[in-house]
Amino acid sequence: MEFYSSGYPGKYQNGISCVMYLQAFKLSAPQDFFIDLYFADTFAIEESEELRDGPFGFSDFIARFCGNEFPVTVQTKSRFLWARFTSDNLMESDGFRASIFDVKTNCRATGRSQPASFSVYLTVGFRKNPYSRHDIRSSNRKTRSMEKVRGILDR
């Protein structure tokens, strides 16, 4: 599954704050999955992208990214990822494109991934111009913002 900064591949808009909560799961064994996040193609953020390992804004802090250097791959220790993208009212930039993969606990060592589903929740904080339906894509359907998404990853 992929997600983008608002307006991608164009510049994101000023005054945006978006929180996204992702959960990797498989109905038979939900506790066995983690999330790996990769940034690809473009990464140019004048403001910040904050990531946390868990479903909440007070979950364990992973990293805060800004600038033009591609971040390293982010690996959660849980099946949850909380992300917040904010932009100020001064500068716009190209934003980012990120890919999310589920990894079963025993597969990280081998580098193989197993299919799982993702629940994605977009929430709160659009100061103006919310994300469009094109900002989140899963392998099986397009979705609209502010909507719960379940995308099955086929590999």
The pLDDT tens digits for 4-50 are: 777 788 888 887 777 887 777 655 545 667 788 888 777 777 777 88
- Per-residue model confidence as pLDDT tens digits over 61-100: 998 887 777 778 888 888 888 888 888 777 778 888 888 7
d(CA 122, CA 134): 13
Domains defined along the chain, listed by start: 2-152 (2.60.120.290)
The letter for the amino acid at 45 is I
d(CA 117, CA 33): 10
Contacting residues for 75 by C-beta, under 8 A, at least 6 apart: 34, 35, 36, 37, 103, 108
- Per-residue model confidence as pLDDT tens digits over 94-146: 888 888 776 665 554 555 555 455 555 554 344 444 444 444 444 433 333 32
